[in-house]
Amino acid sequence: MAFFSRGSDPAAADLLEIMGAKSVMEERDLVAQREAYRAAWHQNWTESSLDFVLTVPHPFPAIKHGESAKANLMTAGYTCLFNVVR
């Protein structure tokens, strides 16, 4: 798929090249990296004495009722990042 989409969408082709099955050790390493990032986020959060952060829940205009099937992952990226680190 990466080969065929390279001409029309190089960014998607790059993503397709790095995506794939991971070994158990690779997956555990990624989990450890995520948890270290979450710990650093939490430490910064507590050192800054934050109770909450008011952010936009969706960085794009509202989606019309019944049209959410047309939304892509880009529309949820900001919210997903916040949910990963909180």
Q: What is the pLDDT of residues 22-70, one digit of tens each?
A: 899 999 999 999 999 999 999 999 999 988 877 666 666 667 777 766 6
In a domain? residue 72: yes
In a domain? residue 1: no
CA–CA separation, 39 and 51 (whole Å): 17
Quote the domain boundaries for residue 37. 25-85
In this prediction the pTM is: 0.49
In a domain? residue 5: no
Residue 9: is its pLDDT beyond 70? yes
Q: Residues with Cβ < 8 Å from 75, sequence gap 6 or more?
A: 58, 59, 60, 63
In a domain? residue 20: no
In a domain? residue 6: no
What is the pLDDT at residue 59? Answer: 61
CA–CA separation, 30 and 22 (whole Å): 10
In a domain? residue 55: yes
User: How far is the first Cα of the chain from the last one, in angstroms, to the nearest whole number?
Assistant: 34
In a domain? residue 17: no
In a domain? residue 53: yes
Question: Structural domain tally of the chain?
Answer: 1
